[in-house]
Structure 1
Amino acid sequence: MASRPNILILMADQLTAGALPAYGNPVAKTPHLDRLAREGVVFDAAYCNSPLCAPSRAVLMSGRLPSATGAYDNAVEFPSQSPTFAHYLRADGYRTILAGKMHFCGPDQLHGFEERLTTDIYPADFGWTPDWTRPKERLDWFHSMDSVTQAGLCVRTNQMDFDEEVGFAARQKLYDIARDSDDRPFCMIVSMTHPHDPFTMADPYWSRYADAEIDMPRVPASVSAHDPHAARLRHVCGQDLQEITDDQVRAARHAYYAAISYFDDHVGALVGALTETKLVDDTIVIVIADHGEMLGERGLWFKMSFHEGASRIPLIVHAPGRFAAHRVSAPVSLVDILPTLGAMARNGAEAAYATAHDGRSLLPYCNGEDDDGVVFGEYCAEGVVAPMIMIRRARLKYIHCPTDPDQLYDLSVDPDELDNIAARAPHDPRLLALRAEAAGRWDLDRLHADVLASQKRRIFVNGALSQGHQTSWDFQPLRDASQMYMRNHMKLDDLEAMARFPKVVPTRS
């Protein structure tokens, strides 16, 4: 195809790849995602680069790791001068549109998007700044195990309210694109908040699953009993403050699967809108998530680690007219999305970038290539007190934090990460090579100092801004009612004809 494609990115929040049938889990009921996977390119080893919402999304947008942008945690300003894929595609003549969550902090709530259809579900200020100088203090915005102990069936939630608005706005925008006269290709990201905790879901999604269908964690909590990072995560989440029963674990996983089905129905509705508007053949659909979810594996919940449950994500590229259906084994990550979109927008031609990025185009993989791949990760938020880094190279995953023992896993024979080669064989040449690579790639002392300085600044600024009158940075969608539906400055017949899709072809006598 010579024409420049439209690009529709469907993003879930906290969706671990291992929960999906497309990645081998038989529990979840996701017919729409299953079809995209059958017809598309499925990346079997896709990762986030920083397993927390805002830093992961900053990586997605910028193609740069947190150490390059300073976007360390869920309350840090993503610099406005950082070029994003929205800037690059917009400069290349694309309409760039955001619907849903992107967790931008600070006054810039667009970061290159020409249009933003909804507000965000999370705050845009610095109130969720972690403080590494007070590691024993549990802040009131930390995760709570109430998400697990109160899991179950509900009628409505804050998150459902949000995703219903996002889904409606995104579908409406697709209809508008089909009807208007703007012939530019579009790149739209539709970012839902499900299946993020709290683990509650309404019918009919809850009732799609019987309790007996719900699988339980494979890896017991005892595996992480002597892991200091796991102990910090348990503290951060208040996990030792209340007892967690098997029934509660099952209910939480039940709700999580139900929320995945809810997300899947939104995927079906959006792809259905593409089909109805005859945009589908010219649109590349990409399914991603910002990070995963531990779901009780190793006794852990939520994210904030580089174990497979928290850091491995789905990545599906669906464009049957462009890419044959196949699977890719190479490790890839969200940092690769920016150069991939640039290559897709230019039909494979090299794009000019205003600043260096840390990723590589995945277009060769979409066209059938495969290799050993490599992924680099950084985590600098709550749950650690020093930077934690990760290297996934071919079959090996190396995790290092200056305060913790090293971890090394051979995922080809140990997918559950039960055999820590670093503890068992401290002189293994694979460990020594990856340790040397990490030491050459990162100046962790400097990164540690930069994170502490950033936290100190933001804690002070947030405290100062909380005094007196407060001006919000939260995005406020503007809707000009004078231009909606039918108004007296519009000609009725022209308006109705323009708004109808498909357009009526007059019959000839």
Structure 2
Amino acid sequence: MKPIYPLMGAAAFCSLSVQAQEKPNFLIIQCDHLTQRVVGAYGETQGCTPAIDRVAEQGVMFSNAYVGCPLSQPSRAALWSGLMPHQTNIRSNSDVAINPMLPESVPTLGSLFSADGYDAVHFGKTHDMGALRGFKHKEPVPQPFSDPEFPVNNDSFLDVGTCQDAVSYLSNPPQEPFICIADFQNPHNICGYVGSCQGVHTDAPISTPLPALPDNFEVTDWNQIPQPVQYICCSHRRMTQAAPWSDENYRHYIAAFQHYTKMVSKQVERVLQALYSTPAGRNTIVIIMADHGDGMASHRMVTKQISFYEEITNVPFIIAGPGIKQQKKPVEKLLTQPTTDLLPTLCELAGIAVPSDKPGISLVPTLKGKKQSATHPYVVSEWHSEYETIVSPGRMIRSDRYKYTHYLEGNGEELYDLKTDKGEQRNLAKDPKYSRVLAEHRAMLDDYIVRTGDDYRTLKVAADKQWRSHTPGYPSHKGPGARDINNRK
């Protein structure tokens, strides 16, 4: 395969010694809503992410990488601080009237690296409540354009500016080591797509063959999943808008998601080409990741909200560059939590001490092809609320084989065997055959609560009964959703 990088083929990318410079550079590329399903290197959908796929071919790709929260602001605040949402107390997308700014006393990725002499810069989306402290941020200038196939909005317009800013910086990097974040909005434009195509519609925005629906498109039994998941159509504006969609409408949704992914992939390619246009690229470790995924029509879901399904919580996580040993296959046996593991991993690669209060583990042994002695027995994702219109806290426990979820509302539980049921369609929580497994995962949740000081059990549910009144399931939705009512006030 012909590499996209003008100065480096795949072999050079992997074999270059990290000692070429005392400190390695870092380039973090983050995409909002990017799910593993559309990243070709993960095997399911080809042709959407060629630039990302080439980076994956040259480094290490983690299969079981889970975000600390399937929502942008809590996930990002946790990521840059290396703490979980209940530890930052940034639990929703609301502003400072609800969520506190991250305290100045909390060390962040940016503060640690800038204190060590790194030029720490951030381009693009923030939504971090102060967790990007230590990075010099440049706000992107939106550049409107039209698209012949799908509706575009400020998400896509801002990415043009983000791409240009990152390319400008990387084309003329500083003499000192740098850590640069290119933080893209897309494929987040899919949220605006839902708003543009709400309700049943027959217009076809594209003429090419439509993608097929995923195998786990249908929900086999709405009564077997927790109440807050049954009624996402009442708590999430985008699910309200998509609730009456036909199967073909969902297929158009997948096509649109792939389109926005291809759009941002081209910008990622430009950023990488700029990086490797100078000698600094030879000493730069590249990280590609996402703040959360997208439902991608699994379980009839669009975008993301409250559920912990694989498409939403299990995100791309790819690291490549000097000193990183190329692995031909994805790392499947190791559970990773980019939310907490990114900070200690990058700190060790840079020779920076990790503050003792950070709960993550360093993945450097795996990146260097060595045995990973420090591992997670399980990883966790948390949910509180999107905008406090409905508050229904939940927790997810992902062990080696199973996924367990618990919601305070209705004491709802799910248990999925991800070895035999990758689509999470058979909830085993009430199956007597799995009572022992269920008890083990309940104990894991209790362990997490005690070990990390999680206040989960003391949180309150706030869900008006009117948003739980129709027959369970999105196709049965009646009337406006709670967010729609709230938006009209």
The answer to whether 1:73 aligns with 2:70 is no
What is the rounded CA distance, in whole Å, between the counterparts of 1:94 and 1:224 in structure 2?
53
Letter in structure 1 aligned against 2:381: G
Aligned runs of 1:20-99 on 2, under 5 Å?
Answer: 20-75=39-94, 76-81=99-104, 82-99=106-123
1:152/1:406 Cα in 2 relative to 1: closer, same or farther (>3 Å)? farther
Question: Is the Cα contact below 8 Å between 1:399 and 1:407 reproduced in 2?
Answer: yes
Distance apart, 1:290 and its partner CA: 0.3
1:370/1:352 Cα in 2 relative to 1: closer, same or farther (>3 Å)? closer
SS at 1:387 equivalent: strand
The answer to whether 1:195 aligns with 2:187 is yes
1:417/1:370 Cα in 2 relative to 1: closer, same or farther (>3 Å)? farther
The residue number in structure 2 matching 1:338 is 343
The residue number in structure 2 matching 1:376 is 380
Aligned runs of 1:285-300 on 2, under 5 Å?
Answer: 285-300=286-301
SS at 2:403 equivalent: strand
The residue number in structure 2 matching 1:481 is none
The residue number in structure 2 matching 1:225 is 222
The answer to whether 1:429 aligns with 2:432 is no
Q: TM-score w.r.t. structure 2 length?
A: 0.77
Structure 2: gaps spanning 5 or more residues:
1-17, 195-203, 463-489
Question: Is the Cα contact below 8 Å between 1:32 and 1:267 reproduced in 2?
Answer: yes
What is the rounded CA distance, in whole Å, between the counterparts of 1:451 and 1:363 in structure 2?
39
What is the rounded CA distance, in whole Å, between the counterparts of 1:435 and 1:448 in structure 2?
13
Distance apart, 1:440 and its partner CA: 3.1
The residue number in structure 1 matching 2:312 is 310
Distance apart, 1:333 and its partner CA: 1.4
Aligned runs of 1:45-444 on 2, under 5 Å?
Answer: 45-75=64-94, 76-81=99-104, 82-105=106-129, 108=130, 110-113=132-135, 115-118=136-139, 153-154=149-150, 156-177=152-173, 182-196=174-188, 197-198=190-191, 200=193, 211-212=208-209, 214-223=211-220, 225-226=222-223, 227=225, 228-238=227-237, 239=239, 243-304=244-305, 305-319=307-321, 321-326=323-328, 327-329=330-332, 330-334=334-338, 335-346=340-351, 351-353=353-355, 356-368=357-369, 369=371, 373=376, 374-382=378-386, 385-403=391-409, 404-425=411-432, 428-442=435-449
What is the rounded CA distance, in whole Å, between the counterparts of 1:426 and 1:449 in structure 2?
31
Question: Is the Cα contact below 8 Å between 2:38 and 2:49 reproduced in 1?
Answer: no
SS at 2:443 equivalent: helix
SS at 2:412 equivalent: coil
Question: Is the Cα contact below 8 Å between 1:396 and 1:408 reproduced in 2?
Answer: yes
Distance apart, 1:20 and its partner CA: 1.6
SS at 2:359 equivalent: coil
Which deviates further from its counterpart, 74-83 or 11-20? Answer: 74-83
Distance apart, 1:155 and its partner CA: 6.7
What is the rounded CA distance, in whole Å, between the counterparts of 1:445 and 1:363 in structure 2?
28
Q: TM-score w.r.t. structure 1 length?
A: 0.74
Question: Is the Cα contact below 8 Å between 2:293 and 2:304 reproduced in 1?
Answer: yes
Question: Is the Cα contact below 8 Å between 2:403 and 2:418 reproduced in 1?
Answer: yes
Question: Is the Cα contact below 8 Å between 2:60 and 2:318 reproduced in 1?
Answer: yes
SS at 2:114 equivalent: helix
Which deviates further from its counterpart, 10-19 or 370-379? Answer: 370-379
What is the rounded CA distance, in whole Å, between the counterparts of 1:109 and 1:43 in structure 2?
24
What is the rounded CA distance, in whole Å, between the counterparts of 1:425 and 1:28 in structure 2?
44
SS at 1:406 equivalent: strand
1:430/1:155 Cα in 2 relative to 1: closer, same or farther (>3 Å)? closer
Distance apart, 1:109 and its partner CA: 7.9
The residue number in structure 1 matching 2:481 is none
Structure 1: gaps spanning 5 or more residues:
122-150, 202-206, 454-509
What is the rounded CA distance, in whole Å, between the counterparts of 1:386 and 1:69 in structure 2?
19
What is the rounded CA distance, in whole Å, between the counterparts of 1:437 and 1:86 in structure 2?
32
Distance apart, 1:200 and its partner CA: 4.7
Which deviates further from its counterpart, 264-273 or 365-374? Answer: 365-374
1:154/1:427 Cα in 2 relative to 1: closer, same or farther (>3 Å)? closer
What is the rounded CA distance, in whole Å, between the counterparts of 1:361 and 1:222 in structure 2?
38
What is the rounded CA distance, in whole Å, between the counterparts of 1:447 and 1:30 in structure 2?
38
Larger radius of gyration: 1
CA root-mean-square deviation? 2.9
Aligned runs of 1:6-21 on 2, under 5 Å?
Answer: 6-21=25-40
What is the rounded CA distance, in whole Å, between the counterparts of 2:321 and 2:362 in structure 1?
16
1:194/1:447 Cα in 2 relative to 1: closer, same or farther (>3 Å)? same
Distance apart, 1:367 and its partner CA: 1.8
What is the rounded CA distance, in whole Å, between the counterparts of 2:112 and 2:406 in structure 1?
34
1:213/1:38 Cα in 2 relative to 1: closer, same or farther (>3 Å)? farther
